[in-house]
Structure 1
Amino acid sequence: MQSKLNMDDLFQLIFVSLLIGSAQGACDRSDGPSGSTACVLLTPYYNKYQWATCLTDTYIKVFSEGNHMCRDSLTKYCWYQVMAIGYVKIWMKFLETRPVYDNCTCGPDAPKKVTTQRPVVTSAIPDWCFSPSGSDCSWYKECLEARYPCKEQGDSYALDYAGKFCNLYQDHYQEFNTIGQEWIDAVRKCLQVKLVPILRPFVVATCESIKQTAFDSHSGCYLHPDSGKPSICDIGVGNWARIFWTVKGALIQDATETLKQMLDVVSACGTDILSLGMENIQMIFRREKEMVLRNLNKFAENIADQMASKMKWNTRGISFFGYPTLITPNRNKRAADINTNTFYINILIAAKSVFDLNAVDSPRANLSAEAISVATSIENGDVRLDIAQGIEFKELSLCIDYNCTDTSLQVEPAPPKKNGVSASNVKPFTIVLTIIAAMAASVLALHLKMLRHCLLS
């Protein structure tokens, strides 16, 4: 086992890893610039050269959630070591066995197989990209997309989701109350700050890893966007509901996982998501054992889109969001086999005129009546869902709460159609006529048989 770090080194790493470097790099205490990278000797606190980036004290505090800051409280810019940016969690995990200090060394102290030259970035980006204020939504295009042009690959988190997410906040800023505006400001900044590390010259990220990094930061930014700033738990149901449905209505790419994450975060706050008149519809499906369902999010989106189309929600002023969920039925629900072949899809619906700030002129909608109409249409066979072979639609419930632990109504879908005709749609009169016709045919056949017997004899 390698020797442990001494307490002084550990103290410096965790609490004061932001140091003013020697004059070997471009990091003026007043002018920066942000993002400049250099191999510096941070004396007298460290005795080896290491890579560091020039950043603002404000950015460092937000990024580290208040754990790091410039040593000189009067300075605006200071060096922030790569070690502190990318390796603090790793260092803490392997504290007793594998310090990572040498991985960040450079110049004369670099290991033989480590380059002593700063990596070259093919797409240069402005200095301000490294200390975003959060108030400028062009950061996603001018900085993130410029550094990683994922739009060319048809998978741009920056342009397809994050930029639109940011601009929606900005476009409707005045429509939120004071605490809602304060939260929006803090979250927009937090979401950008958390992505800054991948802009560093010594980092190479993929479009998929960028999306994952962003996704991983959302919950934390919603709950704790910055020191002293309100949490999503503090802003009230009205604020977050308008944020959620306005963003949902404007997205141009699927973001089921991200939007579901926001709902889960809000639910964990103890917030009654349905308290403002939204409705939650849950459907139980069962797949055959050999049936492979690779993407449950896509399945949920497809089911919700079908329901919306058949119920004409888009033209009737109803917003909807379909997502998969894991839930165990309680005593108020009909029993269902709980195994890997049973899964649940929820559809949350809301009135556009109430929550979607881009659709305030939409028709008013009665959500309670709509939910009952959905259940009735499914039970009577007026609405039928196109479901992949090997999957069976078992039950639909109207939920009283977001987690659907209690329900107000459960129905079973109408039997499948046979030869284009549903068994549930065959009228009693038609059945009677069919029986009479069958009896008449039998009597006629008997008479013909008797007549033939007489003729032969």
Structure 2
Amino acid sequence: MLIILLIVFHASSVHGGCSTQSGPSGTIECIQLLSRYNNEYQWATCLTDTYIKAKSGTAHKCIDRTATYCYYQCMLELYDVNSGPVEGCCKCQQGQEYTSTDLTLPSSCYSPSGTDCGWYENCLEKKYKCKGTDDDYALEFATKICSLYNEHFTSFSSRGQIWVNSVRKCLQVALVPIIRPWCSKSCKEIKQIAFDSHIPCYVRPSRRDLSISYCNLNLKDRASVFWTIKSSLVMKGAAIETLNGVMMTMNECTVQILDNLLTDVKSLLTDIKTFSIEILTEIQSLFRRRRRALSDFTDVLTLANRIADSIANKLRWREQGILWFSSVDSNTSLPLLNELIMFVHLADQKTYDLNTNYTESADIHLIVREFRNKLEKGELKANLEDYSFQPISAKGCLDAQCNITLFDVKVSLNKNGNSLLFHIIYDVNQNCS
């Protein structure tokens, strides 16, 4: 149902109000919407009709259809609530104003286009001084990814380009409410809010056009988005969580189109450019007296990526032009009995990494065969800084649910951790063994 912005209020004016044609964006009023919000006062911001429709998916808009600007009340913008008590940082008192010194951001900050990658530094970073901290989202992650989309825009298909433009705008629009003068967040909170917006923006960046979705991109576009981002980031904390979420999203998308992929399995096997390996790993703390616990999902995910990095370094995947990332199902609980199931995803860097200088494709079949041989011989066991691990079984998968299995290897270990025997349960393609 369409909610029309109809604001009837008593207000204290800042910067001369909100002109329907000239704004400016960012002008703030403390308004009273009479009966709709229990006669309580709340902040409202002068914003463009374009931004309001983008933020709400066209559920909200200026009531004057000739207006370029109008006021957007805080409760509607932040919580999508059009009646009832005024809550949280939306509250203000009659006559309360912000002085000109409080309104330090340019008006363009409040209606971002998505194409200006400087928005994160000129708007978000200008309000919240997070540069150089552990939670430096704006410059460490967001600006870099936005710039990658700009730099490689023409590498995407026409549908992919529409998606890129929508995602860049969605990610910035999601952060606009927290740059208001009446909103205050810590750098850690900003980083979490930003990363939490990535999956919704990837899956449905435009609520006006639901056909614009990561799931509706072709395989090349989807893989290029993921692997280009992965190769450009330092894998830690929220970045790992976000990429794990994107990978889970990509897996769900793959399920939707799996029937199309299975029309010619032999052709798919011959031209394989990506591969996933499901690994069951035994993990053990190196500190027996003061065991370091895996306290939450982030710890589990971080450990899985450290294990994958160790395997990749041992098998020299980077030197051979292979990209990798380890994911863990978000429903995974903390490892029981010291066992962890993880997926290690492999891809040809030349094909999917838009930043690469590689001129030749990697032989993923050869890479996977070497992995199997090393695992079978028990040669992938390693000590990390605080854990040791031993891969004890692996499946080679071509689909998200591991229904198309190229191999299933189990390694039997004695009590000392030495491999005794192994057997291959299933191999549908001897050329890939």
Residues 1:15 and 2:3 are matched in the alignment: yes
Other-structure match for 1:292: 293
Structure-1 separation of matches of 2:354 and 2:120: 23
Residues 1:322 and 2:343 are matched in the alignment: no
Structure-1 separation of matches of 2:390 and 2:358: 39
- One-letter amino acid matched to 1:404: C
Q: Alignment partner for residue 68 of structure 2, among 76, 84, 99?
A: 76
Other-structure match for 2:426: none
Q: How does 1:259-338 map to 2 (within 5 A)?
A: 259-269=243-253, 270-272=256-258, 277-287=273-283, 292-294=293-295, 295-325=299-329
Flag the 1:397–1:123 CA change in 2: closer, same or farther, 3 A.
Answer: farther
Deviation at 1:84, TM superposition (A): 1.2
Structure-1 separation of matches of 2:9 and 2:111: 19
Instruction: String of CA shifts for 1:367-390, please: whole Å, max 9, x gaps.
Output: 122112101112124443325557
Flag the 1:183–1:18 CA change in 2: closer, same or farther, 3 A.
Answer: farther
Question: Which sits farther off after the overlay, 198-207 or 24-33?
Answer: 24-33
Other-structure match for 1:100: 86
Residues 1:235 and 2:239 are matched in the alignment: no
Other-structure match for 2:366: 369
- One-letter amino acid matched to 2:160: G
Other-structure match for 1:257: 241
User: Is 2:381–2:389's contact at 8 Å kept on the other side of the alignment?
Assistant: no
User: Is 1:21–1:43's contact at 8 Å kept on the other side of the alignment?
Assistant: yes
- One-letter amino acid matched to 1:292: A
Q: Alignment partner for residue 349 of structure 2, among 334, 346, 352?
A: 352
Instruction: String of CA shifts for 1:255-312, please: whole Å, max 9, x gaps.
Output: 2211121122232232459965311112112457977223112111211111111111
Flag the 1:364–1:287 CA change in 2: closer, same or farther, 3 A.
Answer: closer
- One-letter amino acid matched to 1:407: T
Does the residue aligned with 2:112 lie in a helix, a strand or coil? coil
Flag the 1:79–1:309 CA change in 2: closer, same or farther, 3 A.
Answer: same
Q: Alignment partner for residue 19 of structure 2, among 28, 39, 42?
A: 28
Instruction: String of CA shifts for 1:220-273, please: whole Å, max 9, x gaps.
Output: 211221112611122211111111111111113432211121122232232459
Question: Which sits farther off after the overlay, 141-150 or 289-298?
Answer: 289-298
Does the residue aligned with 2:46 lie in a helix, a strand or coil? strand
Q: Structure 2: which 5+ runs fail to align?
A: 263-267, 286-290, 422-433
Instruction: String of CA shifts for 1:328-362, please: whole Å, max 9, x gaps.
Output: 9xxxxxxxxx9575321111000011111111534
TM-score by length of 1: 0.75
Q: How does 1:163-182 map to 2 (within 5 A)?
A: 163-182=143-162
- One-letter amino acid matched to 1:57: D
Does the residue aligned with 1:345 lie in a helix, a strand or coil? strand
TM-score by length of 2: 0.79
User: Is 1:36–1:53's contact at 8 Å kept on the other side of the alignment?
Assistant: yes
Instruction: String of CA shifts for 1:414-436, please: whole Å, max 9, x gaps.
Output: 85998xx97779xxxxxxxxxxx
Does the residue aligned with 1:325 lie in a helix, a strand or coil? coil
> Higher helix proportion, which one?
1
Flag the 1:284–1:45 CA change in 2: closer, same or farther, 3 A.
Answer: closer
Question: Which sits farther off after the overlay, 235-244 or 409-418?
Answer: 409-418
Deviation at 1:87, TM superposition (A): 3.3
Other-structure match for 1:444: none
User: Is 1:32–1:77's contact at 8 Å kept on the other side of the alignment?
Assistant: yes
- One-letter amino acid matched to 2:315: M
Flag the 1:44–1:32 CA change in 2: closer, same or farther, 3 A.
Answer: farther
Flag the 1:194–1:104 CA change in 2: closer, same or farther, 3 A.
Answer: closer
Deviation at 1:29, TM superposition (A): 1.3
Does the residue aligned with 1:27 lie in a helix, a strand or coil? coil
Q: How many residues align?
A: 390
RMSD of Structure 2 on Structure 1 (CA) = 3.5
Does the residue aligned with 2:307 lie in a helix, a strand or coil? helix
Question: Which sits farther off after the overlay, 196-205 or 300-309?
Answer: 300-309
Structure-2 separation of matches of 1:324 and 1:48: 46
Flag the 1:341–1:422 CA change in 2: closer, same or farther, 3 A.
Answer: closer
Flag the 1:292–1:404 CA change in 2: closer, same or farther, 3 A.
Answer: farther
Other-structure match for 1:401: 399
User: Is 2:18–2:70's contact at 8 Å kept on the other side of the alignment?
Assistant: yes
Flag the 1:307–1:390 CA change in 2: closer, same or farther, 3 A.
Answer: closer
User: Is 1:195–1:214's contact at 8 Å kept on the other side of the alignment?
Assistant: yes
Deviation at 1:49, TM superposition (A): 4.7
Structure-1 separation of matches of 2:249 and 2:88: 39
Instruction: String of CA shifts for 1:105-148, please: whole Å, max 9, x gaps.
Output: 5443x8xxxxx343897793222111100010111111111111
User: Is 2:382–2:389's contact at 8 Å kept on the other side of the alignment?
Assistant: no
Q: Structure 1: which 5+ runs fail to align?
A: 1-10, 111-115, 329-337, 426-457
Does the residue aligned with 2:131 lie in a helix, a strand or coil? helix
Structure-2 separation of matches of 1:173 and 1:17: 36
Structure-2 separation of matches of 1:278 and 1:102: 47
Question: Which sits farther off after the overlay, 349-358 or 145-154?
Answer: 145-154
Other-structure match for 2:112: 132
Flag the 1:391–1:45 CA change in 2: closer, same or farther, 3 A.
Answer: closer
Higher-Rg structure is: 1
Deviation at 1:402, TM superposition (A): 2.2
Q: Alignment partner for residue 164 of structure 2, among 170, 174, 184?
A: 184
